[in-house]
Structure 1
Amino acid sequence: MGLAAITVSCGAGSANVPAADASASSSASPLSQRAASATPTAPAHGPLSSALPAEKVRDAFAGLQATLNDSCTPGNCAYFLGRVYDELHRMDRAMKADPKGPGHFPEPIALIAKLDTEFGGDHAFGSLKKHQTLMIGTRDKINLWMQGHPDDYR
């Protein structure tokens, strides 16, 4: 196979592809076609997170509260437990970055630290399932604590 020149246009997200290759791209799955045409966005957390403004505690708390009516059912247990884990850590980051300082949130931060000690760095589904009761209890205790501090989430 010889080398072919490919020109990529960043503005429209299209590429000039040789005719032989163009037919191959049309047989790609709809998911890969959507992914290829999607506009890239910066991740909420990751390499660019230090450049983003800190999330407000009230916004992180809303995400945590959104898990209150869900549960670990056969069809969504991995998703649910992963989401609770993520929302707890989103709260942790927001509280630590809050202008009031992490000392304003001693109990929730300590609860999450205790949870992390139990996980020992393993937050795979098996570990999430093993620590499900502790994790849900931590979420519920933080929810109660925050309900007693309405100035932090309103």
Structure 2
Amino acid sequence: MRIPRRVRAAALVALPAALLIACSATDDGAPRAGGSTTAAGAGTATVAAGPERAAAAATEEAASPAAGSTPSPKKVRDAFAGLQATLDDGCTSEGQCAYFLGRVYDELERLDRAMKADPKGPGHFPEPIEWIAGLRTTIGPDRSYPNLKAHQGELVGTRDRIDTWMQDHPDDYR
């Protein structure tokens, strides 16, 4: 039986959506603090309804006006969760290390944008924003693997320092 191209394409959208939903729940299956059971349930229903429905939902979300607008207060929480997802990862092989270092850099940039756009204002997150700016200056414009590898200590150190800072400010991400 041959699977139609449209269904295969929709499945490529549905799988990341399902993984995103799975990652937004705690180990016991409950949503993370500040999460919505309705949102998690709706996402699961979308994936369960079929790949066409998941693809349509993903397309609708990407085309919504909010997709390119200022992040909501939840964006800091979401960006911080993305950064925390790198805590149990590391450099085990060269290919995996390139992915890991690039992801840490990307998650730090995402958190920086979210903090600067937060309704509390960038002055509410002075240390993390300063640390990310310092890291950006240290790394420079070269995002190649050799350059990120050369600055691995700074990347991981900044991530860890921000994780500690955020843990001391739980109202900022919960």
Taking structure 1 as reference, are residues 34 and 153 closer, same or farther at Cα in structure 2, changes over 3 Å only? same
Task: State yes or no: 1:65 paired with 2:123.
Answer: no
Alignment correspondent of 2:98:
78
The number of equivalent residue pairs is 123
Alignment correspondent of 1:54:
71
Letter in 2 for 1:65: Q
Taking the aligned partners of 1:143 and 1:65, their CA distance within structure 2 comes to: 7
* TM-score (structure 2 length as normaliser): 0.61
**Between 109-118 and 52-61, the greater mean CA deviation after superposition:** 52-61
Alignment correspondent of 2:132:
112
Letter in 1 for 2:90: S
Taking the aligned partners of 2:10 and 2:171, their CA distance within structure 1 comes to: 44
Taking structure 1 as reference, are residues 135 and 42 closer, same or farther at Cα in structure 2, changes over 3 Å only? farther
- How far is 1:52 from its partner? 3.2
Taking the aligned partners of 1:98 and 1:36, their CA distance within structure 2 comes to: 33
Unaligned runs of 5+ residues in structure 2 are 13-54
Task: State yes or no: 1:95 paired with 2:111.
Answer: no
Q: Which has the larger radius of gyration?
A: 1
Taking the aligned partners of 2:83 and 2:128, their CA distance within structure 1 comes to: 12
* TM-score (structure 1 length as normaliser): 0.69
CA RMSD of aligned residues (A): 2.8
Taking the aligned partners of 1:72 and 1:137, their CA distance within structure 2 comes to: 14
Taking the aligned partners of 2:11 and 2:78, their CA distance within structure 1 comes to: 30
Alignment correspondent of 2:156:
136
- How far is 1:119 from its partner? 1.1
Percent identity between the two aligned chains: 64
Structure 1's consecutive aligned runs of 4 or more residues displaced over 2 angstroms after TM superposition are 33-44, 48-53
Taking structure 1 as reference, are residues 43 and 110 closer, same or farther at Cα in structure 2, changes over 3 Å only? farther
Deviation per residue, 1:82-102 (Å, 9 max, x gap): 100000000000000000000
Taking the aligned partners of 1:115 and 1:42, their CA distance within structure 2 comes to: 35
